[in-house]
Every structure is written in C-alpha cells, then in structure tokens.
C-alpha cells in the first residue's frame, strides 16, 4: 500500500512539476510553464515588423502598402487574421508538444500569447475553433484548435462557439497539396448555425488561409457579419 501511495505521489509530482521539458526533453531545465522550459518559450521566434494588415504575412521591407498584393487583389472572406509567431523551429517544437504529447495544459499559455496580439481587433462575441470531423479528432486524439478557442473564450470573456461551426465532410490533408487545390479541397466542407454578428475563428497553425476562408464563408452564409481570425503560428506555404 505504501508503495502505491508513493507511486501516486510521484505521478502527481510529475504532473505538476514535469521532470523534463515537453518540447526539448531537457531534464535539468528548471523553470517550466505548462511543462515547457523557459529556454523553449524564449526560442519561439518573433513576428516580422511589417506585416499585411489583412492576412498577417510578412511584407518585404520597405513596405509601401499596408496589405500584401494578394489581399489587395482578392480580399479574403474574413476581415483580418492575426498570428502569434512564425511557424519556425521554436514555435514548431512547443506546438508539437502541445499537439502530440498530451500537453493540454499548454493551452492557457499559448492562448495568452495569442490573445496578446488580438488587441487591435474590435470586440468579438464568440471564439469558434476551425472544426475537425469526428474521425480526424479520433485519429489525432486531440483537437488543438478547440483547446485554444476554449482558452481564448475564457481570457476574453466571450462565448465558446464550438457548436456554431461544423465540418460536414472529410477532406484531404491540406499539407502537401498545391495552393489552388487547397481551396478546392475545403470548399463547402463547413456549415455554420446561427453565429453571432462578430466571430473570432481560432486555429493552431495557418498556411494558405484556405481553410479559414472556407470557414469564414460558411459563417457569413449563416448570418455572421464580421469574421476575424487568430492562429497561433503562421507557416508560409513553401515551409511545409
């Protein structure tokens, strides 16, 4: 019995004070936030100073315009997107720990970073995660966009909107598809029900924005007037 109690105490200690960083595995690092060491948090790269006001892609300095050529030519169906970090090594490591090592207690820390870049947005009424189908959630065992959206809703004191948008059919994985195919792949894949006037769409990583666009269209078809978007990391299409 004493053995069992000792084991349980050790397990509890490992849960609250993980023995090693979930992102880099360093067992000597001592300062942890959500199971990740200070050095790993600090290795999350900073965003470029000049970014598109609409889709948040880095603009080549000196930036003459406030939006990128693509957004000026064909504005996306969402009002604007903000991201917290480029999807480069440091951010990738921490997100990987979040998604694949069961570190759902990382969600509040990632959500706090993301919430801090949303200050320029007008007030939003609900945080809606980019949905996954039941099969996708079962296969991954985790729904990172949902975890982030839930924490964002708590931080901003707004409605949790995971029931407002559904993925109604399976799609091919976007990673590896050429850009034009990505928009076709997700077209009509989402359906919204009675969203409020102003919605915040939440995802973990954004690449082409095609999934966000399909979601924003579905929300607007169902009556939303403004759709803002937030994703923790921004990958550029060629970085996949």
Instruction: Give residues in contact with Zn ion (CB under 5 A).
Output: 21, 23-24, 37, 40, 52, 54-55, 68, 71
Length of the chain: 240
Q: Which is nearer to Zn ion, 52 or 206 (CB)?
A: 52
The answer to whether 215 and 202 have CB atoms below 8 angstroms apart is: no
Residues 6+ apart with CB under 8 A from 7: none
CA–CA separation, 233 and 161 (whole Å) = 21
The answer to whether 185 and 75 have CB atoms below 8 angstroms apart is: no
Q: Which is nearer to Zn ion, 40 or 127 (CB)?
A: 40
Q: Which is nearer to Zn ion, 82 or 150 (CB)?
A: 82
CA–CA separation, 76 and 228 (whole Å) = 11
Q: Which is nearer to Zn ion, 68 or 229 (CB)?
A: 68
> Least distance in Å: CB of 199 to Zn ion?
20
> Least distance in Å: CB of 195 to Zn ion?
24
> Least distance in Å: CB of 72 to Zn ion?
8
Q: Which is nearer to Zn ion, 31 or 168 (CB)?
A: 31
> Least distance in Å: CB of 92 to Zn ion?
13
Nearest Cα neighbor of 185 from 166, 159, 157, 208 is 208
Can you name the residues that pair with 33 across neighbouring β-strands? 36
Residue 172 per-residue DSSP state: -
Can you name the residues that pair with 126 across neighbouring β-strands? 159, 199
> Least distance in Å: CB of 237 to Zn ion?
13
> Least distance in Å: CB of 80 to Zn ion?
9
CA–CA separation, 101 and 65 (whole Å) = 41
Q: Which is nearer to Zn ion, 44 or 164 (CB)?
A: 44
User: E-assigned strands of 102-148?
Assistant: 126-129
Residue 209 per-residue DSSP state: S
């Amino acid at each position: 019995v004493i053995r069992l109690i000792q084991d349980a105490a050790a397990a509890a200690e490992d849960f609250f004070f993980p023995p090693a960083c979930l992102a880099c595995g360093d067992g000597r690092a001592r300062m942890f936030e959500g199971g990740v060491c200070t050095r790993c948090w600090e290795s999350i790269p900073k965003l470029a100073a000049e970014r598109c006001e609409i889709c948040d892609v880095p603009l080549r300095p000196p930036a003459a315009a406030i939006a990128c050529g693509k957004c000026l030519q064909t504005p996306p169906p969402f009002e604007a997107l903000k991201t917290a970090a480029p999807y480069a090594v440091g951010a990738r490591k921490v997100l990987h720990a979040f998604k694949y090592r069961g570190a759902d207690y990382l969600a509040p820390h990632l959500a706090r970073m993301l919430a801090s870049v949303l200050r320029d947005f007008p007030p939003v009424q609900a945080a809606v995660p980019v949905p996954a189908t039941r099969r996708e959630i079962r296969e991954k065992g985790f729904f990172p966009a949902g975890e982030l959206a839930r924490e964002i809703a708590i931080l901003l004191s707004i409605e949790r909107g995971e029931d407002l948008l559904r993925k109604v059919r399976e799609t091919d994985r976007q990673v590896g598809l050429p850009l034009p195919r990505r928009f076709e792949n997700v077209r009509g894949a989402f359906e919204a029900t009675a969203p409020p006037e102003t919605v915040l769409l939440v995802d973990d990583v954004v690449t082409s924005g095609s999934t966000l666009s399909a979601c924003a269209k579905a929300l607007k078809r169902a009556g939303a007037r403004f759709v803002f978007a937030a994703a923790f990391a921004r990958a550029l299409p060629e970085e996949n």
